Homo-oligomer: A and B are copies of this chain.
Amino acid sequence: MSQPSAELIQLFQPVEEGLDAMRACLTGQLEETSGAVSDMTGHVSRFRGKQLRAALVLLSAKACGTYTAEHPSVAAVVEMIHLATLVHDDILDGAEVRRRVACVNQRWDNQVAVLLGDFLYARAFALSTTLSSRLCSSLLAETTRTLCIGEIEQSSRRYDFEVERETLEGIAAAKTASLYAAACELGARYPGGEVELGETMKGFGRDLGLAFQLVDDCLDLVGDSRVVGKSTGTDVQDGKVTLPVWFVYRDASTAVRAAIRDAYTRPNVEDRAALLKEVVDVRPGVDATLARATALLEGARARLAPLPETPSRASLEEITRFVLRRTW
């Protein structure tokens, strides 16, 4: 499997060996005697990404002095759950299939993507049940449930501009931050105890993950897809009211609010994000969202204060800065 970017390799340096073990474990898990399955899992590399969650498991464990030989497997379980969510995020609904079919290069059909995601979830849970402690399987089963609830809530709030800000942040916390929180908590607590340290790192992961999602929402709105490395404008296209748009809408006049809603809903619009940016300046919303992310990341760093100064702790701190400056 390919490697993350040079900057991340640097940040992950304290857990390089563990990450190699994690990748070997992941590769082993995705091997199947079934030809049809291995054809599909081969494509999973398309979704591989930064392996940030896996690294957080290992860095948290090292920073807390709780690292064990099983931590790379725990990290692989976390990473597989993340991969499963990415694969299922790729499923298009009926409306989207009809809308996008002309322009989207669909690598697989929807059914196959559903099955591949299910396979990854099943593989993750199966691996977690082979570990010596049940903490990994119980914590990650609950976390997966929370992820699903977050996605379902988000789906139910599409086109809802009157949503409370707390609800929006709650959705981002559930669908994204919960897995970061679980990764860091498992790093600190697995296999047995360290409940207090676990709570500290869970808080760190939650703040980091929420900030990550807020930055992601900004990148989707104003990022350059060539730099971000994935298509942008998808949130507006899908009717998702993210925090930057929420801020802009809140502070807009009645006329501009109507124009914003129109950009989300008018039929036959090719690029809704572009239309939105024509009718309103989204920069103040982006700035307010990035300010919120900055505050969250400062909070995350403060949580690390009780930990001894180690290369792993330094990497965790640097990752909070990396989240704000990432451009993909």
Residues in chain A within 8 A of chain B (CB atoms): 32, 34-37, 39-40, 84, 88, 91-95, 97-98, 101, 106, 109-112, 114-119, 121-123, 125-126, 128-130, 134, 137-138, 141-142, 144-145, 147-149, 151-153, 155-157
Contact across chains for B118 and A121 when beta carbons are under 8 A apart: yes
Contact across chains for A152 and B119 when beta carbons are under 8 A apart: yes
Q: A39-B156, A118-B148, A122-B148 are known contacts; what are 4 more A-B pairs with Cβ within 8 Å? A: A88-B118, A119-B152, A123-B145, A128-B141
19 pairs from A and B in contact (CB 8 Å cutoff):
A32-B149, A37-B148, A37-B152, A84-B118, A88-B118, A92-B94, A93-B111, A93-B112, A94-B101, A97-B97, A98-B98, A110-B110, A115-B155, A119-B148, A121-B122, A125-B141, A126-B144, A129-B137, A137-B137
CA distance A123 to B148 in the complex (A): 10
Contact across chains for B110 and A152 when beta carbons are under 8 A apart: no
Contact across chains for A152 and B92 when beta carbons are under 8 A apart: no
Q: Knowing A37-B149, A130-B138, A137-B137 touch, does A91 contact B114 (C-beta < 8 A)?
A: yes
The minimal Cβ–Cβ distance linking A152 to chain B, given in whole angstroms, is 5
A119 / chain B contacts, CB cutoff of 8 Å: 145, 148-149, 152
Contact across chains for A155 and B112 when beta carbons are under 8 A apart: yes
The minimal Cβ–Cβ distance linking A208 to chain B, given in whole angstroms, is 23
CA distance A152 to B37 in the complex (A): 6
The minimal Cβ–Cβ distance linking A290 to chain B, given in whole angstroms, is 28
3 A-B pairs with least C-beta separation:
A36-B156, A93-B109, A126-B141
Partner of A153, one of B36, B126, B145: B36
The minimal Cβ–Cβ distance linking A100 to chain B, given in whole angstroms, is 9
Q: Knowing A149-B37, A156-B39 touch, does A95 contact B109 (C-beta < 8 A)?
A: yes
Partner of A144, one of B114, B125, B153: B125
